[in-house]
């Protein structure tokens, strides 16, 4: 049903009433949904379909594109500019005066309007909007790299040990969301990437052009990419030099507006449809140029910001979403993580070269539930490659994030049948202070060699023998294990690693989930010294 808007007017100047507003316009339906879902190759690449099938991710109506006829009709309305679209939310991001935007409700296919300026969302508009700000800133087996300046940041998380086993990201697709990628298509540090056909096409969602290299006003994305894909023989090696990369410009470095979160969500949707495995986002939002759109620290709750909600869907869709925590640690009025780092993705904080907390790194919420940041990596005095090809030192969680994103790509290569949630949890468990997380360091510095060894241990638990039913369930879930299972422990937790309950069980038992909120959970079963994780859906 269309949400009607009842406006109560105050005495304001005509100038303020005519201000340009940002809003999301949500549509009632999509075109030809049944046929699209019956023929998924019409809306997704085969790689995307294979990834979803492999990880048990359903292809649903959210994967169907927005009705282009609806978009055209909105564009043709007086005073309206359409700047972005989202198939996951079935909406478009528009600019216009409040009057012109409100008039869109006269279109039969418009379901509701949500203004970014939340003061404009009346009770009858069923507002669900939010707001934000940008942050900071093919080898033979037994590969022996000379990491040069990148030695410490690779060795700290032991990703060099996976490289030695020839897990360098080969066959894994990464999308980088950032503010500019000048010279990536020409500079020597990415020549290896280009020669191997691993620099895939990109898109500039800010200027709406397929030439992602045309904009040269900001090199943040180039430096971020270098910590994953950079390769200068004998001088520098990124954490995933053989992965394939899509580059998406979603951030307008010259301003801070709500449009950037919509750009990000649209880019994430494209990444999903292309079969992307890992997304790095060295961006974060909490304040805008226009203070009407600012978030509060209370809004960093994991499900308020539009970009965070989009990131949560991206996680649900099976992608590994890696986010920088933010550089607000020394900001006395803020201090904590920024969106989308507050969501269900993998949030990365920063430490110095010795592994100590970097004070600029945004802290987690208090109480720290779920734990944020998830893990940390070197982000202070970290080496990057600039758009001029120079190797130098920089600071920021913008760089600890891609260091981890590249490492996760190597882990995806090694264990392609493991889900994004399973890999995130295994990396958390490998970390230095997993049992005693803090708001500064999260679970600490991950050990990718340990995570690899854990995953490489043969499982004595056969997933075809274990019975967890019904699933989905509303109240009682039954668990049947082989009679040979000994020392069995089951742990029920959230997707982001928070433990809900742990108990010892017999071969046949049940758990009561009636008090849990509807959603997806992880059920970890440990027996005979090995473990298995299953998804559990509460209806």
Domain ranges, ordered by start, for the chain: 14-30+65-125, 151-456, 467-538
**Residue 281 pLDDT:** 98
**Residue 537 pLDDT:** 80
- Which residue bears the tokens 């509060």? 296
- What is the arithmetic mean of pLDDT over 342-368? 96
Please check the confidence at residue 505 and state whether its pLDDT lies above 60: yes
Of the candidates 495, 497, 492, the residue with the CA atom closest to the CA atom of residue 477: 492
- Which residue bears the tokens 């996760």? 408
Share of the chain above pLDDT 90, in %: 71
**Residue 81 pLDDT:** 96
- Which residue bears the tokens 């997707």? 495
**Residue 263 pLDDT:** 97
Please check the confidence at residue 2 and state whether its pLDDT lies above 70: no
Fold of 151-456: Rossmann fold (3.40.50)
Please check the confidence at residue 124 and state whether its pLDDT lies above 50: no
Q: What share of the chain is helix, strand, coil (3-state, %, to 5)?
A: 25, 25, 50
Q: Whole-angstrom Cα distance, residue 101 to residue 80? A: 7
pLDDT tens-digit readout, 92-123? 999 999 999 999 999 999 999 999 999 898 63
Please check the confidence at residue 17 and state whether its pLDDT lies above 70: no
- What is the arithmetic mean of pLDDT over 172-182? 98
* pTM given for the model: 0.78
Least trusted range by pLDDT, from 21-25, 105-109, 217-221, 528-532: 528-532
- What is the arithmetic mean of pLDDT over 238-253? 97
Please check the confidence at residue 10 and state whether its pLDDT lies above 60: no
Please check the confidence at residue 405 and state whether its pLDDT lies above 50: yes
Using CA atoms, how far residue 526 sits from 207, 223, 462, in Å, is: 51, 42, 12
- Which residue bears the tokens 């779920």? 370
How buried is residue 79: exposed, middle or buried, by Cβ count under 10 Å (0-12/13-18/19+)? middle
Of the candidates 218, 135, 208, 228, the residue with the CA atom closest to the CA atom of residue 183: 218
pLDDT band at 141 (very low <50, low <70, confident <90, very high): very low
**Residue 441 pLDDT:** 98
pLDDT tens-digit readout, 424-464? 999 999 999 999 999 999 999 999 999 998 887 654 455 55
Q: Which residues contact 9 (CB under 8 A, 6 or more apart)?
A: none
Looking at residue 367, what DSSP letter applies?
A: S
Q: Whole-angstrom Cα distance, residue 328 to residue 335? A: 5
Please check the confidence at residue 83 and state whether its pLDDT lies above 70: yes
How buried is residue 256: exposed, middle or buried, by Cβ count under 10 Å (0-12/13-18/19+)? buried
pLDDT band at 392 (very low <50, low <70, confident <90, very high): very high
pLDDT band at 133 (very low <50, low <70, confident <90, very high): very low
Please state, rounded to an integer, the average pLDDT across all residues of the chain.
88
Using CA atoms, how far residue 501 sits from 366, 415, 497, 498, 531, in Å, is: 21, 28, 12, 9, 16
**Residue 123 pLDDT:** 38
**Residue 28 pLDDT:** 94
The three-class DSSP label of residue 226 is helix
Annotate 157-184 with b (16+ C-beta within 10 A) or e (fewer): bbbbbbbbebbbbbebbbbbbbbbbbbb
Please check the confidence at residue 403 and state whether its pLDDT lies above 70: yes
**Residue 139 pLDDT:** 34
Fold of 467-538: Immunoglobulin-like (2.60.40)
**Phi/psi of residue 260, nearest 5 degrees:** -65, -30
CATH of domain 14-30+65-125: 3.30.70.250
Annotate 440-476 with b (16+ C-beta within 10 A) or e (fewer): bbbbbbbbbbbbbeebeeeeebeeeebebeeeebeee
């Amino acid at each position: 049903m269309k949400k009607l808007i009842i406006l109560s007017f105050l005495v304001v100047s005509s100038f303020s009433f005519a201000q340009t507003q940002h809003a999301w316009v949500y549509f009632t339906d999509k075109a030809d949904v049944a046929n699209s879902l019956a023929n998924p190759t019409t809306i997704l690449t085969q790689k995307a379909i294979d990834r979803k099938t492999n990880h048990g991710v359903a292809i649903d109506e959210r994967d169907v594109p927005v009705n282009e006829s609806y978009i055209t009709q909105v564009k043709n309305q007086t005073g309206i500019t359409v700047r972005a679209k989202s198939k996951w939310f079935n909406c478009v991001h528009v600019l216009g005066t409040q009057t012109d935007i409100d008039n869109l409700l006269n279109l039969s296919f418009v379901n509701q309007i949500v203004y970014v300026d939340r003061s404009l969302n009346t009770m009858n508009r069923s507002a669900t909007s939010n707001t934000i700000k940008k942050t900071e800133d093919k080898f033979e087996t037994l590969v022996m790299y000379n990491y040069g300046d990148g030695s410490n940041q690779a060795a700290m998380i032991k990703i060099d040990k996976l490289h030695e086993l020839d897990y360098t990201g080969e066959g894994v697709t990464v999308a980088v969301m950032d503010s500019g990628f000048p010279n990536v298509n020409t500079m020597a540090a990415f020549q290896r990437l280009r020669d191997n056909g691993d620099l895939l096409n990109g898109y500039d969602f800010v200027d709406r052009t397929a030439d992602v290299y045309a904009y040269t006003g900001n090199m943040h994305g180039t430096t971020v990419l270098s910590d994953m894909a950079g390769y200068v023989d004998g001088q520098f090696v990124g954490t995933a030099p053989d992965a394939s990369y899509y580059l998406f410009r979603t951030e307008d470095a010259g301003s801070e507006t709500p449009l950037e979160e919509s750009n990000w969500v649209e880019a994430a949707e494209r990444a999903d449809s292309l079969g992307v495995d890992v997304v790095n986002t060295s961006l974060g939002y909490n304040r805008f140029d226009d203070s009407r759109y600012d978030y509060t620290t209370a809004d960093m709750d994991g499900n308020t910001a539009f970009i965070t909600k989009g990131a949560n869907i991206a996680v649900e869709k099976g992608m590994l979403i890696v986010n920088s925590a933010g550089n607000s640690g020394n900001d006395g009025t803020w201090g904590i993580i920024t969106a989308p780092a507050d969501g269900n993705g993998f949030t990365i904080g920063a430490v110095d070269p010795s592994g100590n907390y970097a004070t600029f790194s945004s802290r987690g919420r208090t109480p720290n539930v779920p734990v944020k940041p998830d893990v940390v990596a070197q982000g202070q005095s970290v080496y990057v490659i600039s758009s001029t090809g120079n190797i130098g030192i920089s600071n920021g969680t913008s760089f600890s994030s891609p260091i981890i994103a590249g490492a996760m790509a190597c882990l995806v290569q090694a264990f392609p049948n493991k889900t994004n949630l399973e890999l995130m949890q295994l990396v958390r468990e490998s970390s230095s202070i997993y049992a005693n997380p803090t708001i500064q360091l999260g679970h600490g510095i991950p050990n990718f060699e340990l995570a690899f060894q854990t995953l490489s241990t043969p499982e004595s638990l056969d997933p075809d023998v274990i019975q967890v039913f019904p699933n989905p369930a509303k109240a009682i879930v039954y668990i049947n294990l082989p009679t040979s299972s000994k020392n069995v422990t089951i742990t029920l937790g959230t997707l982001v690693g928070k433990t809900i309950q742990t108990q010892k069980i017999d071969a046949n038992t049940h758990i009561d989930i009636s008090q849990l909120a509807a959603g997806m959970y992880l059920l970890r079963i440990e027996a005979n010294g090995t473990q298995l994780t299953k998804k559990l859906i509460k209806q």
